[in-house]
């Protein structure tokens, strides 16, 4: 009989499994049991929809092993598979397309753990411990059964077979022991029992296995009666129905990793039982890291939705607002009808109540983490802060009150992350605004000439480095009654009354000089002014009006070539800087040179702002001309 080849990707995954150095080889059992449980869920669900009369009590998983033959079998009476399904499900893995192997095989070992964890390779994990795997399966309602068999990368065969009942039997022919690995260790009652307890305790169908008990023979010292009984190994109580006291962090973490295919423990879990307007149990997790596709269109948000312990939807998007889309987990409610359709769910009042309640719960947990475990929160923020920001912006500020206290920004003081609340409590006497600057990096922003004076006064500046930040600030308008002010805006007035007066006088005195510079920079700047923002630097660039320089940059980089808004640039000059006296001198004696100086100063202001200068060659020529 001709062997069929695995699809290329499957083959490579299989190779990895076979040569696995994965330390948790034992998870193969969990994976196969989980598949069996899914297959029974499918049958149960079908039965409910089509009135087939199958009850939960009819469904179970049978586990057994044969020490001599070195085999383990896992049997279910679930939905089973027909020939095409066998072909498609076990011949190809990860059809999602998101699964891409690195071409570089030398890194295979390092990547292996990630691959196993992230994609839940399920069935193939059998090859970590087995040299040969067989699956005998018969689809519910069909006559013909099939035997799928494979010894690894060489391919697989599918043959017609006999099987009385629907469902699947998987037989693992364990690998021979090696110096480093004892594959035979799974051929023991206590081992299998403990693996089921550890990884599959909450599976909602009984996992049964013949268990042998020894009793001393009456009256005969040293002799025993052995009886074998079929026992159910798992407690079958879903983890979320257990009380928090019963559960350890490790159990929560294991559950999360298995069910939500992550290889890392979650950052936190939230286990809540709520009664009242909405009655439900929820078990939620915030992952440690954003999934690889989190910020792409492919990422689907949603929670599993159970109705009295039965899964009715795998990704119920309506349970999570977009800004909490990173939350994984499940909700189980008795208030929902089992036969509810997707369309009906969207309008379900109960679901809306649950969503509102979950939203508050998640927010409170985040707040709690922020207050009690700052390090953890900052880790959360690094991964998902952007999502919170989008949420704030996306809702046209409707979520402002709700989300603003979750925000973190880097402050000029110590370059540490701070909340707005913390910023405000640290505000100095006389400081009436929250100052911020937008740009590429904290390091660059920290060198802006405008920061110097504020730092002298002991005012903090928030350094905003995400593209969306400035839009958020616009949306917030103020915080705790304190206005936000950009230090890159021309009208940010952080000078004292005296300084303001002085600035006005100097402007008056140098009106003609400023006018001349403005003329020579025509088309480049909207205005040239004396600055009261500067200490040791000669110039800085700010903007008038709504569109800031940073916004111009962000909008300019977006796709689409419709008219992009431009910032009205203002060149601010430090009248106390020696260069200013020089400008005054040139104004009186050499207008041509004044124009060259104006150009150079403008270009310098652009460079400091992190903007491109129009003609770098011309700029260099001008500077050189001054140097010789
Ligand atoms: P996953 O379970 O993540 O989809 P697997 O590789 O474990 O990936 O399984 C692939 C598919 O094979 C499953 O989605 C399911 O359709 C099918 N399958 C696996 N085991 C069984 C089983 N015991 N009964 C019926 N179908 C199964």
Please work out whether the CB of residue 36 comes within 6 Å of at least one atom of ligand 1. Answer: yes
**Range in 152-166, 186-200, 331-345 with the lowest mean pLDDT:** 331-345
Where are the strands (E) in 8-154, listed by range? 61-66, 71-76, 130-138, 145-150
| Mean predicted confidence (pLDDT) in 509-523 | 95
Is the pLDDT assigned to residue 205 strictly greater than 80?
yes
Cα of 391 from ligand 1 centre, angstroms: 36
pLDDT at 291: 85
| Mean predicted confidence (pLDDT) in 611-626 | 91
Q: Model confidence over 289-304: pLDDT tens digits?
A: 998 888 888 899 999 9
Q: Model confidence over 385-416: pLDDT tens digits?
A: 999 999 888 877 788 888 999 999 999 998 99
User: 94 pLDDT band (50/70/90 cuts)?
Assistant: very low
Position in ligand 1 atom list of the atom nearest CA 78: 24
Stated length of the chain? 628
Between the CA of residue 363 and those of 269, 327, 367, what are the distances in Å?
A: 13, 11, 6
Q: Which residue has the higher pLDDT, 34 or 161?
A: 161
Question: Rounded to 10 degrees, what is the CA torsion of 13, 17, 23, 25?
Answer: 120
pLDDT, the chain, mean: 88
- Long-range contacts formed by 210-215: CB under 8 A, 24+ apart: 210/64
Share of the chain above pLDDT 70, in %: 92
| Mean predicted confidence (pLDDT) in 599-605 | 95
Residue 4: DSSP 8-state: B
Pocket test of ligand 1: the residue of 27, 76, 84, 123 to mutate, having most ligand atoms within 8 Å of its CB, is 123
> Could you confirm whether domain 239-378 is CATH 3.30.230.80?
yes
Per-position DSSP letters for 447-502, written without gaps between them? T-TTHHHHHHHT--EEEE-STTHHHHHHHH-EETTEEEEETTBTT---S-HHHHHH
Note whether 391 and 322 are within 8 A (CB). yes
Note whether 430 and 493 are within 8 A (CB). no
| 179: Cβ contacts below 8 Å, ≥ 6 apart | none
Please work out whether the CB of residue 120 comes within 6 Å of at least one atom of ligand 1. Answer: yes
Please work out whether the CB of residue 587 comes within 6 Å of at least one atom of ligand 1. Answer: no
pLDDT at 561: 65
pLDDT at 1: 67
Instruction: Kindly report, as residue ranges, where domains of CATH 1.20.120.790 are found in the chain.
Output: 497-627
pLDDT at 118: 43
pLDDT at 115: 45
pLDDT at 20: 66
Is the pLDDT assigned to residue 315 strictly greater than 60?
yes
Cα of 521 from ligand 1 centre, angstroms: 70
- H or E segment to which residue 572 belongs: strand 568-573
- H or E segment to which residue 311 belongs: strand 310-316
User: 499 pLDDT band (50/70/90 cuts)?
Assistant: confident
| Mean predicted confidence (pLDDT) in 17-36 | 80
pLDDT at 107: 44
Query: Of all protein residues, whose CA lies closest to atom 4 belonging to ligand 1?
Result: 122
Query: Of all protein residues, whose CA lies closest to atom 18 belonging to ligand 1?
Result: 35
Position in ligand 1 atom list of the atom nearest CA 120: 3
| Mean predicted confidence (pLDDT) in 547-565 | 82
Please work out whether the CB of residue 94 comes within 6 Å of at least one atom of ligand 1. Answer: no
Backbone angles phi, psi at 353, to 5 degrees: -65, -40
Please work out whether the CB of residue 251 comes within 6 Å of at least one atom of ligand 1. Answer: no
Query: Rounded to a whole number, what is the distance in angstroms from the first to the last CA of the chain?
Result: 88
Please work out whether the CB of residue 61 comes within 6 Å of at least one atom of ligand 1. Answer: no
Please work out whether the CB of residue 93 comes within 6 Å of at least one atom of ligand 1. Answer: yes
Handedness of CA 437, 439, 443, 449 (dihedral sign): negative
| Mean predicted confidence (pLDDT) in 127-146 | 96
Instruction: Kindly report, as residue ranges, where domains of CATH 3.30.230.80 are found in the chain.
Output: 239-378
Among residues 319, 308, 312, the alpha carbon closest in space to that of 342 is found at: 312
Q: Which residue has the higher pLDDT, 179 or 285?
A: 285
Q: Model confidence over 345-360: pLDDT tens digits?
A: 666 788 889 999 999 9
pLDDT at 207: 97
Is the pLDDT assigned to residue 98 strictly greater than 70?
no
User: Angle at which helices 591-609 and 511-520 pack, to 10 degrees?
Assistant: 70
| Mean predicted confidence (pLDDT) in 152-164 | 91
User: 90 pLDDT band (50/70/90 cuts)?
Assistant: confident
Q: Which residue has the higher pLDDT, 10 or 419?
A: 419
pLDDT at 102: 35
Q: What is the domain class of 408-486 according to CATH? A: alpha beta
User: 108 pLDDT band (50/70/90 cuts)?
Assistant: very low
Is the pLDDT assigned to residue 200 strictly greater than 70?
yes
User: 93 pLDDT band (50/70/90 cuts)?
Assistant: low
Is the pLDDT assigned to residue 187 strictly greater than 60?
yes
Share of the chain above pLDDT 90, in %: 58
Most confident of 21-35, 333-347, 418-432, 490-504: 418-432
The CATH architecture of the domain made up of 11-232 is: 2-Layer Sandwich (3.30)
Please work out whether the CB of residue 39 comes within 6 Å of at least one atom of ligand 1. Answer: yes
Instruction: Kindly report, as residue ranges, where domains of CATH 3.30.565.10 are found in the chain.
Output: 11-232
Position in ligand 1 atom list of the atom nearest CA 36: 23
Pocket test of ligand 1: the residue of 32, 89, 145, 311 to mutate, having most ligand atoms within 8 Å of its CB, is 89
Cα of 36 from ligand 1 centre, angstroms: 8
pLDDT at 161: 97
Instruction: Kindly report, as residue ranges, where domains of CATH 3.40.50.11260 are found in the chain.
Output: 408-486
Where are the strands (E) in 162-255, listed by range? 167-174, 207-216, 224-232
Distance CA 224, CA 204 (A): 35
Is the pLDDT assigned to residue 36 strictly greater than 50?
yes
| Mean predicted confidence (pLDDT) in 481-507 | 86
**What is the maximum alpha-carbon separation in the chain?**
126
User: 423 pLDDT band (50/70/90 cuts)?
Assistant: very high
Within 13 Å and on the Cβ side, how many CA atoms surround 205?
A: 28
| Mean predicted confidence (pLDDT) in 372-382 | 97
Is the pLDDT assigned to residue 365 strictly greater than 60?
yes
Q: What is the domain class of 497-627 according to CATH? A: mainly alpha
Query: Of all protein residues, whose CA lies closest to atom 19 belonging to ligand 1?
Result: 35
Is the pLDDT assigned to residue 22 strictly greater than 80?
no
């Amino acid at each position: 009989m001709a062997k069929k080849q695995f699809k290329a990707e499957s083959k490579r995954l299989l190779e990895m499994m076979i040569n696995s150095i994965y330390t948790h080889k034992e998870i193969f059992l969990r994976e196969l049991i989980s598949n069996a449980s899914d297959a029974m869920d499918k049958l149960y669900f079908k039965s409910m929809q089509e009135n087939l009369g199958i009850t939960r009590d009819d469904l179970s998983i049978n586990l057994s092993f044969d020490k001599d033959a070195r085999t383990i079998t896992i049997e279910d009476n679930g939905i089973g598979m027909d020939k095409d399904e066998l072909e498609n499900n076990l011949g190809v893995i990860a059809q999602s397309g998101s699964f891409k192997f690195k071409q570089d095989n030398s890194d295979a070992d390092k990547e292996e753990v990630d691959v196993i964890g992230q994609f839940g390779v399920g069935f193939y994990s059998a090859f970590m411990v087995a040299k040969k795997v067989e699956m005998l399966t018969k689809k519910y309602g069909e006559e013909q059964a099939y035997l799928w068999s494979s010894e690894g990368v060489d391919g697989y065969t599918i043959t017609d077979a006999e099987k009385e009942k629907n469902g699947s039997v998987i037989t693992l022919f364990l690998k021979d022991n090696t110096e480093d690995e004892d594959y035979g260790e799974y051929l023991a009652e206590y081992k299998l029992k403990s693996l089921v307890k550890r990884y599959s305790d909450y599976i909602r169908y009984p996992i049964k296995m013949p268990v042998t008990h020894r009793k001393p023979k009456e009256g005969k010292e040293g002799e025993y009666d052995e009886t074998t009984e079929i026992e159910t190994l798992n407690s079958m109580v879903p983890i979320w129905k257990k009380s928090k006291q019963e559960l350890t962090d490790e159990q929560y973490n294991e559950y999360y990793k298995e069910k939500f295919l992550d290889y890392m423990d979650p950052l936190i879990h939230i286990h809540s039982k709520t009664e009242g307007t909405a009655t439900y149990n929820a078990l939620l997790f915030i992952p440690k890291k954003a999934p690889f596709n989190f910020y792409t269109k492919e990422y689907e948000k949603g929670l599993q939705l159970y109705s009295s312990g039965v899964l009715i939807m795998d990704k119920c998007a309506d349970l999570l607002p977009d800004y909490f889309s990173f939350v994984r987990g499940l909700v189980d409610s008795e208030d929902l009808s089992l036969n509810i359709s997707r369309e009906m769910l969207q309008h379900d009042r109960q679901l809306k109540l649950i969503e509102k309640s979950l939203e508050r719960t998640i927010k409170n947990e985040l707040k709690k983490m922020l207050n009690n475990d700052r390090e953890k929160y900052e880790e959360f923020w690094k991964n998902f802060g952007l999502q919170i920001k989008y949420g704030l912006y996306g809702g046209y500020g409707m979520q402002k009150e709700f989300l603003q206290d979750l925000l973190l920004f880097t402050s000029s003081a110590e370059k540490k992350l701070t909340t707005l609340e913390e910023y405000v409590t640290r505000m100095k006497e006389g400081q009436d605004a929250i100052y911020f600057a937008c740009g590429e990096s904290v390091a660059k922003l920290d060198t802006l000439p405008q920061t110097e004076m504020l730092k002298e006064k002991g005012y903090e500046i928030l350094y905003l480095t995400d593209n969306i930040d400035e839009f958020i600030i616009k949306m917030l308008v103020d915080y705790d009654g304190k206005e936000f002010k950009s230090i890159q805006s021309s009208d940010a007035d952080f000078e004292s009354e005296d300084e303001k007066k002085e600035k006005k006088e100097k402007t008056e005195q140098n009106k003609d000089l400023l006018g001349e510079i403005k003329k020579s920079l025509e088309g480049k700047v909207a205005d040239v002014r004396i600055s009261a923002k500067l200490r040791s630097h000669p110039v800085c660039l700010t903007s008038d009006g709504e569109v800031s320089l940073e916004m111009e940059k962000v909008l300019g980089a977006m796709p689409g070539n419709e008219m992009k808004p431009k910032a009205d640039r203002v060149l601010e000059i430090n009248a106390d800087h020696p260069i200013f006296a020089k400008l005054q001198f040139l104004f009186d004696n050499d207008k041509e040179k004044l124009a060259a100086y104006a150009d150079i100063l403008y270009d310098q202001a652009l460079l400091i702002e992190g903007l491109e200068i129009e003609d770098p060659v011309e700029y260099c020529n001008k500077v050189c001309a001054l140097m010789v």
